[in-house]
Amino acid sequence: MREGDTLVVCKPDRLARSTADLLNIVSRLKAKAVALIVLSMGGQKVDTRTATGKLMLTMLGAIAAFERDLMLERQRERIAKAKGEGKFRDGRRRPAERPMRYGRFGRREYRLR
């Protein structure tokens, strides 16, 4: 990107994995004199060239990180519950465990992969 360019993103969580990473990217863009505009505010733009825009971006990044942490927490709880019920095994199913699919003739000679 060159000086004076503007980077437009839909959501801050698509740009960075964490709030710290997001702020690091914003500071690197600022050092290159590149503006960042986020479109995830219900049609309104968050322009990081303003103080209010910087505040909103930090808040959006924090909320996105919070949502991701909640999702991972619920996922771990569901996996623990499924393991307790004997319904979950780590990893993918092995090829021998996959159900056999047949071609349109329904004979083993025509197995599909």
**Residues 19-70: tens digit of each pLDDT:** 888 889 988 988 998 888 888 766 677 777 788 888 888 888 888 889 889 9
- The structure's pTM equals 0.59
- How many Å apart are CA 90 and CA 112, to the nearest integer? 26
Q: pLDDT-based confidence at 77, cuts 50/70/90?
A: very high
Which domains, ranges and CATH numbers included, belong to the chain? Answer: 6-89 (3.40.50.1390)
10 Å CB burial of residue 62 (0-12, 13-18, 19+) is middle
Query: Tokens standing for 67?
Result: 């949502």
Predicted local confidence at residue 39, as pLDDT:
81
According to DSSP, the β-strands at 35-41 and 6-9 are parallel
| 11, 27, 42, 43, 46 from 32: Cα distances, Å | 21, 9, 28, 27, 19
